[in-house]
Structure 1
Amino acid sequence: MMSLLLMVSVLLSIMLGPMTLPAKQSLLSILDKLFGSDFSQLNAFQTAIIWELRWPRTLLAIFIGALLALCGAVTQGLFRNPLADPGIIGVSSGAGLGAAIAIVLLPASLSYLTTPIAAFLGGLITTLLVYRLAQSQNGGTSVLILLLAGVAIAAFSGAIIGFMTYIANDMALRELTLWGMGSLNGANSISIWLSALTCLGLLMFYQTQAPALNAFLLGEAEARHLGINVEKLKLQLIVVTAIGIGIAVSATGIIGFISLVVPHLVRMTMGPDHRVLLPLSALTGAVLLLMADIGARVILPPAELPVGLVTALIGAPFFAFLLIQQRKRLSTL
């Protein structure tokens, strides 16, 4: 079902935008690209819109949506909390800080290169710092301290980003603002290949850890009794998740709520088994971000909303619903 919905979403993504293209010709243009034919009979301008603008951002939306949802599902399993999000370990704020420093302080002519690299490094360094702060002398890791350290680092990063915003010139300020809202406009071959390889690599790695994540749902003590090296598993998952989120943020800026909403939706319908949850979360995340990007293009034509605003409009009410459900569950205990 989700695979069919993904294919429909891809076709809609090619068709819809400030200039709407016919469904038949849009579909035939894919055959033209594959076989070198001219079934679609689109003019050069329409062909350029599809293959130079819409197709790259469609692919990027698929891989970034899947990547965010995957990392969200693993984070929720690791912390055994459906309200958990990769942002709580500081990776999103760290990536945003790295991007802000690159946008404001480094040459604008190299921003296409320096901003993604700085975002990735910021996310990774911040996450390693948070993990180090949460480590005890006996080598264990407190989940509570990890969360508190993530909140502290996020607050510090937010303050530095605010300072960067204050000293930025008009051009850097606009770029910094748009970065914080998230956008797929920067889709190119490098970002697409990097996000695709990262997404596939993380999916394969996470699938090998799915039985351990299932055991983790029972609690850390029970997981240890089952022979799982809990501290090693936590370090691996946190670092790999930081890499995934860092690459996603470096490619598109900060896109919220995909990593929170999608795993919970899949868990509500398919259950908590990570062997099923992980691939379905990736597929659902790809569909949701792709549909959000379509909405960003058609809500206020010919203007284009940042896709992060659309995901926030979808995710914020759902997050409020989760909080209400959590409160009802706690009140019955």
Structure 2
Amino acid sequence: MLSVDGLTVRAGSLELVREVSFGIGPGERVGLIGESGSGKSLTALSLMGLLPEGVTASGQARLGGRDLVGVRESGIKELRGRDVSMVFQEPMTALNPLMRVGAQVAEVMTLHGTSRAQARARAVELLGRVRLPRPEEIARSYPHQLSGGQRQRVMLAIALANEPELLICDEPTTALDVTVQKQMLDLIAEVAPALLFITHDLAVIASVCDRVLVMYGGRVVESGPIREVFTRPRHRYTEGLLAASRLTPRGTRLSTIRGSVPSAGQFPEGCVFRNRCPNVTPECETEPALTGDGHAHACWHPAH
């Protein structure tokens, strides 16, 4: 359904995302993980046609045969909010503070041809669908009158308004407490069509997704089924993420990955992870290709 091939994102001559390729089938849930600065959000924003000014995308991304990259703004506006929708990380910056919640849910429908009366009625239905109590009252509220969890549910209602084929979630539960986070994850898993879920939290990905893509330095360094990647990681970066995550066995001491993610343009030549990898050799000065059927990795010295 979604096919991404050679997606590259640039700011001038600087490559921020390099040759990213993946696909998502109907009803499939794919996770995109990595530390901040790995290129996850830029990958999602390029699919939505929402890249910052001065940042451009090339390559190919097609949703049901329709181009998402390299099309005019008028063309992507026809798809955005109808065929592909996005739930952003921070609803207080994504929601309009001067508009009532119901009007904001209705707006995305009227932009795609639904009458105002139908959109208003549908907005209340959607607020109930995402399990907000008293949806009629919520529809008359302003964003600042709602809790963080309620605002995030409003964002989900907006994203689902036109029954899109693909839902993109960019760190939608980061600012929520553990109980509300669990409720949101259950809700997303229940109502989402095909899903691209972006986070740095491996435990969240494990609870929601079927497959996972691991990004570092603007490229995919490992991909495959969740269970296989998380139990038998091949890339040393994936191995390090798992050793530092909540997925480690109870009683196991968490470890860290030495160093930090370099700034854009500061990643080393060859393997992008080699300046932080404990198993680096001279061979790593040459960039490894992403290889493997089903469970692919780009590492000269795989962990398993």
Greater share of strand: 2
Which band: TM-score by shorter chain? under 0.3
Greater share of helix: 1
Tell me the TM-score normalized by structure 2. 0.24
Tell me the TM-score normalized by structure 1. 0.23
Q: Which has the higher contact order (CA 8 A, sep 6+)?
A: 1
